[in-house]
Structures are given as C-alpha cells and as structure tokens.
Chains A and B, each alone.
Chain A
C-alpha cells in the first residue's frame, strides 16, 4: 500500500468511526437500523472473497442451493481470482467488497471462503452506505473480522455460518446435520425463528443468560485486540471456536481473553468446535478444552456450554451475531434461542 492509497482510505473510515459509533447510555445504536431486512424470494445475494481465493467451480454448490431457495446470485469479481493465497490484491478484494456493500440491489453478501486476508483490506472499506442500508454479511473463520468490526462500530447484525466453500457438492450424500447446517443459513436470512437444542454434556455449567450474541474464531478475536475492530463482550453471550492450533496456543489465547477482561462480564459462554492440533512428542500439554476453559471462568457464574455445533466442522449452525439470544444450559440440555 503506498502512501496515497493509505491517505485516501483512512479518511472515510475515520469519518465513519466518529459519526456512527456514538452509543446511547444503553449501549444501543438507536439512530440506526440494526437488523438488515430479511430476504424475500427473488432477492439478490452477492458472493465475494475478501480473504482466500476460491474457484467458480467451488462456488457452484452454494450458488445452486441458494437459487433453489429462490434467490438470485451475483458473483463478485474476486471469485476465481488468485493472487497466491488471496483472491486478488488487497485493493481488488476491497473494491469487490465495497461494490457489494454499496449496491442497493444486493441484499446479502456471502463470502466465498475464509483463509486469511480480511484484516488486510477492512480499513480500506467505507461502510457509510452499508450503515444506511444494512445487508446481511455471511461467513465464518476469517470473516470473524467483519462480524467483530461491524458489531463494534455499527451494531448491525451479521450471520456467522458456513460459506460457499463449505456447501456439500452432492446434497444426496450429505449427512442430515450438514443439510440442517446449510438450511439454517436460509432460516436466518428469511427471518425464521432460530432455536437450537443440544443434548446435555457433563462439563457444561448450568444457568441462563440473555444478551447479544457475539463471537467467532478465537485466533481472529485475539488478533483484533487493541485495534479498531476489537470485540466488546460486556453483557453479551460469547461464542468461540478454533481449528488446527496447539493446545498451548488455545490456552494462551484464552488467557488473553481473560486478562483482557473479555470473560468477566459475559451473560453466557458457548464453546464451539475446537479441533486441537496434537501435541508434539514430549510436549504433552495435559489439559483438555474443558479444563482450559473452566479454569479461566471458574470465578464467574454465567452458563457455559461445550461442543456447541459452531466451527470448522460439518455441523456448523448459522448464528445471528449482534442479536439478542437466550442461552439456557440445564441438565436436560442446552437451548440457544434468538429472541428478537
């Protein structure tokens, strides 16, 4: 990024930050429309790639399924573009995302895939039109950058869910949980009631909490610390997931959350899938995800639920970030329900 680009991108972000982040005493963004319009048949969903690259072919299953749901699809310029691991240069990815955000015909934006790259382009994005006309942004993993940034700045709801690359190619051979996970995206987008029920797990801590749901990938949440996209968790229900990290790294990130006061004022904590990388021989960490989480939150009293179906797994249900939820963790089971 040269200096000219830098200046031209900093200005709009600074303007947006000052004009739209003023919270009223109740922490609400009362001047803004907080929930994007739900989608109707015939509405347009855009696909773009602010992070890693994806081929057109890899998007086809998602495109077909979303058409089957009755939506039209617009494929962004970054789909099929490869710049090493990225779907184009930072400027190209920012431009594609900007066009999708600004185009009033596009009612939702599904990201092609995660990988890495959102943090390299997000400060180039001007959210002013998006704030006036919010639309659903859909994705997970690296898309956590958008969920946190948008929640923090604008309080606009987003959908944390599977993206184009995680739609099964052949629905006839997909498992029921895969099919249900994909269908939960549709349910979120059309405004159907969202309520997930889970069987009890002995490691859960019982209780009930009501709050705005926020969260995503743990590595990304830590990576946003101290930045303009830093996630505020106070009074909220936090969900976290991660993939392919060593146990000691997960432990370090959980300490970062705790020491950064992101765990002490929660209304509930949801632990999604943690696919932990096996310890190297002789470096056995000796702690499970249950141990690591509970030792950080033992002095707090909110409900904690483990193995929630969110993360880099086939069973990854759509969650509406930024919207009020009730989390009920009981010995009969766990219920997470969107209540607005």
Chain B
C-alpha cells in the first residue's frame, strides 16, 4: 500500500496516482462556488480518477469557504483519510495561514499524499517541505479547468505529474535571462506568501535550491520591496538557480516606478552568477505548469530556450 520514495536528498515523495485512485477537493482558503469546480471534477473523472468533494467546496463564510474550524477540519479529514489518494485545492485566495498551525500532520507524515495547488497554497507547500521534507505540487487548481482550458498543456501537465510522469518543460528564452545550467531541489511559489512566512515555522530554506516565484496584482514597488526582503534575508545569495514566473496584472503608482518588474528583479540579482530565467510559465494566468516542490530538477537556461527537467 505504502509506496513512498525517499530520494538521495531525503525528500519524501508521496505515491503517484494510478487510474481508479481518488482525489479529494478542498477549499482551505477563499470561497468557491461548487459549479466553478464542475469542469474540473468532470475532467478528473475523464482522466480515470474518482473525485470526492470536501465539505468546504461550495461552502461560504464571508470571504472564506467556511470558518477556520470548518476549513481546517475538511483539510484534516482529507489528509487523514486513507481512501483519499491526493488532495486538490479548489482555489487559493487567502486563509491557509490562518489554519496551518491547527493542522495535525501526524497521520499525514506516515501516509503522505500529493497536495495540489498554488497561490495561497504556497504556505502549505513551504510548510510541508521545511518541516517534514514532504514534496507537494504547485499546479493549476479547479477554476483553471473552466472555459475549455481543461485541454491545455498546463492542465495536462498536472495529469502527467499526478501519474508520476517526469516533467520536461521547454519554453522560449527571454532577453533578460542569465544562461547556465543547474541541478537542485525546486522550491517556491507565490512571492507575497513566500515573504509572509519568513520568520515563521513555515519559512523555507533556499540554500542550494532552485527557487521559482510568481505574483499577481501587486504594485511594482511592492514586488521590488518583497524582492529586497528575499535578498536581505539571505534567500537569494546561495541559490542554484532562479526561475522568475509571470508577474500578472502588475500595477504602477501615479508617479511611475520607472522599471518593469522584470527589470527591477534583474537589477536586484545582478551580483549573482547562477542561471536565471524570466517569464517561465508558472503563474496566475493559464500558463502554469505543474511543479513539484521538494523534488530535484535540472534547469538549462540557453540563449534561445529554457528547459526545466525533472531528475
């Protein structure tokens, strides 16, 4: 039953799914109407999985998909239930940080399973890896399946990742890229959340890692400020590589900042010699490949293309 991998770096890789396995859907953060998860449920079913919606999917308490107790209980049950083989978060928003210290990981540590999500779920990804060395999946959530998008390569990458197919993503280069090759454990997620957990028990160590970041809807100066926090807290200096995802819907102040987000980041990492790529398809837009936090990857940043390959 228990087929956990322990790789050389001692990351615990939860068992990959087989056809017929069961995926639970929970909403540990913001509210999501049930119908918005309908296409996702149908698609997962078409892929050959069983789907169990949790009590928080479609449930609402103000902004949230339930009270802290309800959200915590739903996620806890899904983590502990041996009949659930993986957990897909319906959506992000805000709320994981409110319940994370209430979760009990005792059973989950013995029987880890893939937890899938991004954005606010970054808190859980970081927490699982930094505390228990358990890998988790940064990937599209339920709403990304809508409007016919369930067929796109990014949603397909989630299926491949769940089934244990090793990723090999190729994407075009960017003029700001810093070429080079690197191998290392991949960590990262949403920039706001990565800085929000600094100094907390969910804080993630980035030394010798490949770090990826993405962001949505922030002011450029605010992204610059968060990048300075990463830099000043020592999280950028000893990386193996840096993957800059998409920074969607960036806002500027009345007096312009004077740089794009990418230019500001480039300035900030100028002293580092490791490979850096910009505009990698990890984001709040549809371009969002499944990435396994805690797993070894090889990144090649070449003149005209970028390849991220799971080892």
Contact = CB atoms under 8 A, between A and B. Distances in A.
A265 interface: no
Interface stretch (B43-51, B138-146, B170-178, B218-226): B218-226
A339 B169 CA distance: 63
Given A85-B256, A259-B202, A260-B199, A223 B229 contact: yes
Interface centre among B93, B97, B226 (most CB of A within 10 A): B97
Given A225-B229, A283-B63, A85 B221 contact: yes
A286 B61 CA distance: 9
A6 interface: yes
A119 B225 contact: yes
Contacts of A43: none
Interface centre among A1, A224, A227 (most CB of B within 10 A): A227
Interface centre among B200, B256, B259, B267 (most CB of A within 10 A): B200
B233 interface: yes
Given A1-B267, A251-B98, A256-B196, A284 B233 contact: no
Contacts of A287: 62
B270 interface: yes
Contacts of A228: 232
B221 A285 contact: no
B132 interface: no
A284 B63 contact: yes
Contacts of A119: 225, 228-229, 232
Interface in A54-103: 83-85
Given A85-B258, A283-B63, A284-B63, A227 B232 contact: yes
Nearest to A246: B94
B221 A222 contact: no
Interface size class of A (residues with CB under 8 A): 35 or more
A3 B229 contact: no
Contacts of B20: none
B271 to A, nearest CB: 5
B258 A84 contact: yes
Contacts of B61: 286
Contacts of A227: 229, 232-233
A277 interface: no
Given A6-B271, A83-B258, A285-B62, A223 B195 contact: yes
Contacts of B101: 259
Interface in A201-251: 222-230, 248, 251
A116 B62 contact: no
Interface size class of B (residues with CB under 8 A): 35 or more
B221 A116 contact: yes
Interface in B221-242: 221, 224-226, 228-229, 232-235
Nearest to A296: B98
A123 B268 CA distance: 13
B235 to A, nearest CB: 8
A23 B61 CA distance: 48
Given A248-B94, A252-B94, A230 B271 contact: no
A253 B203 contact: no
B106 interface: no
A84 B225 CA distance: 16
Interface in B95-145: 97-98, 101
Given A225-B199, A226-B199, A226-B234, A84 B255 contact: yes
Contact of A123 (B196, B200, B226, B232): B232
Nearest to B29: A248
A263 to B, nearest CB: 12
Q: Which 9 A-B pairs have the closest CB atoms?
A: A286-B62, A226-B233, A84-B258, A227-B232, A259-B200, A260-B199, A226-B198, A225-B199, A248-B94
Interface of A: 1-3, 6, 53, 83-85, 116, 119-120, 123, 222-230, 248, 251-253, 255-256, 259-262, 279, 283-287
